[in-house]
Amino acid sequence: MAGLPPGLLIRAAKLAWTTLWQTMMGQMAPSSKGGDYQRPESEFRQRVEPEGAYPPEANRYQLIVGMGCPWAHRTLVTRSLKGLEETISTILVNPSPDEGCWVFETPFRGCRTLPELYRQAQPGYKGRATVPVLWDRQTASIVNNESADIIVIVNEAFNQWATRPEVDLYPDALKTEIDTWNDRTYQAVNNGVYRCGFAQSQAAYDRAVTELFDELDTIDRALAQNAYLCGDRVTLADVRLFTTLFRFDVVYYSLFKCNRRRIQDYAHLGPYLRRLYQLPGVAATCDLEAVKRDYYGNLFPLNPGGIIPSGPDLEYLNAPTGAMADV
């Protein structure tokens, strides 16, 4: 091999790596024929409601979460804002870069990995084993594994045990506006950063990154008039956006190639991120080291060396934001 021309070696290495990269990306991030990332739908969509199969009870339900995951992070922020830490406990999992799945920090119900628990709850299950999971310890079953559903459940179903029952993050008067924001931010921002990072063609990346920053620019303009997306109070629309913005400058800007500008450089998005971060209990749900470890250390096709960067310093999140509205 040492006697081969350098150009031939480079071309051979690029061909081998590109083939391997496409294979791994196809398994990790399914895409369209044009290379656009397509997120699969969640499969467990039950509700917690008084007359249903899963009635509200204190200390019956648990959240299975990974601290680096933005979708799981939404449930922790909602739980914190409502003051439900003593009512809904958590079970922690971490992604394994070698096994390609979530692994329990402490074995749970005889399971070492999350896919094992999914199969225990539904024998023969062949779908994705994702977080968050709302787990019912009484029936040993998965209630829901869709974060958008779980945060509504946490907001509405456990008020009698909440230390802040007056906090309503999904009020009837704002539901239409919240849903409109959620539809926009999910496609362009929450899932948009993944569409950038997991794009398997230049055209797919160009479409995703343009849509992402067009929407961020629109949000920034809207926040020139309001403290939060729907006015002067925090809603689930803010919770859903926050967990993506918290990770943006840390991992999406560099690892996912979302590098047109940082969130902290926006005139209104920057203070908005700080405002949310400084709400009571929210900072305690933010684990910077887990975020960096899980993204840089776990997504091998995007970071083959597994090197985890030392920064950035997030002290700016504690800087003043101007006048704040109450939750």
Single out the catalytic residue among 125, 170, 186, 194: 194
Of the listed ranges 139-148, 270-279, 312-321, the one predicted with least confidence: 312-321
Model confidence over 172-189: pLDDT tens digits? 999 999 999 999 999 999
Burial class (CB in 10 A: 0-12, 13-18, 19+), 43: middle
pLDDT value of position 119: 97
Average pLDDT rounded to a whole number, residues 61-79: 98
What is the domain partition of the chain in residue ranges? 172-318
Q: Is the pLDDT of residue 12 over 90?
A: no
> Which token pair is 303?
């970071």
The contacts of residue 145 (CB under 8 Å, 6+ apart) are 42, 43, 44, 130, 131, 132, 133, 134
Radius of gyration for the chain, computed over Cα atoms and rounded to the nearest angstrom = 21
Model confidence over 295-311: pLDDT tens digits? 999 888 889 899 999 98
Q: Is the pLDDT of residue 323 over 50?
A: no
Average pLDDT rounded to a whole number, residues 65-92: 98
pLDDT value of position 129: 95
Q: Is 186 a catalytic residue?
A: no
Q: In the structure, what pLDDT confidence band is assigned to residue 229 with cuts at 50, 70 and 90?
A: very high
pLDDT value of position 167: 98
Q: Is 194 a catalytic residue?
A: yes
**Domain 172-318, classified CATH 1.20.1050.10, yes or no:** yes
Single out the catalytic residue among 54, 69, 196, 258: 69
Taking a C-beta distance cutoff of 8 angstroms, is the pair 213, 256 a contact? no
Tell me the pTM. Answer: 0.90
